[in-house]
Structure 1
Amino acid sequence: MNIDDLLVPRHPLPRLHEQQVQALQQLPETERAEQAQLLRVGNAAYRYHQLERVDTCHFSQHIMQASSTTALYEAAVLS
């Protein structure tokens, strides 16, 4: 399989995309798919965070999730 095909979505910065391609080329064939999966997740997350679209709904959900995670952690540690 072509290495460029493993990197979809590709990194939007050409320099970083080329670094990813070179890193995958240096890996043994058996390790490329797993590493490419990690790079794809990172590329998608990078693209998502570059959207610069933070609305109050997303922010509120983040705060509620963080608060609930903290409460669960404290309950587990203190009990």
Structure 2
Amino acid sequence: MKRCCDVFNIYRSSYKYWAKQVRCIKPEKVKALVMVKSIHAESNSSAGARTISIIATTRGLTISRDAFDKRAKLSQLQASKS
């Protein structure tokens, strides 16, 4: 581990701290992803980031276009060009 930390120029204590952190999926992110996927499916894959963020906001989920882009990349969503 020392050699790896030397290669990446990080302290071993920083690595140990990072490795101990509990990683869990937040329910808010799952809810947002499900809503984004459902809106995308309802639009027959034609809605883009702006439209989906507007629809999600009217349904009670405040999401920016940047946040949508991150979730779209995670779930491999892409608007159809027609």
User: Normalised by the size of structure 2, how large is the TM-score?
Assistant: 0.26
| Structure with more helix by fraction | 1
Quick one: higher RCO (CA 8 Å, sep 6+), 1 or 2?
1
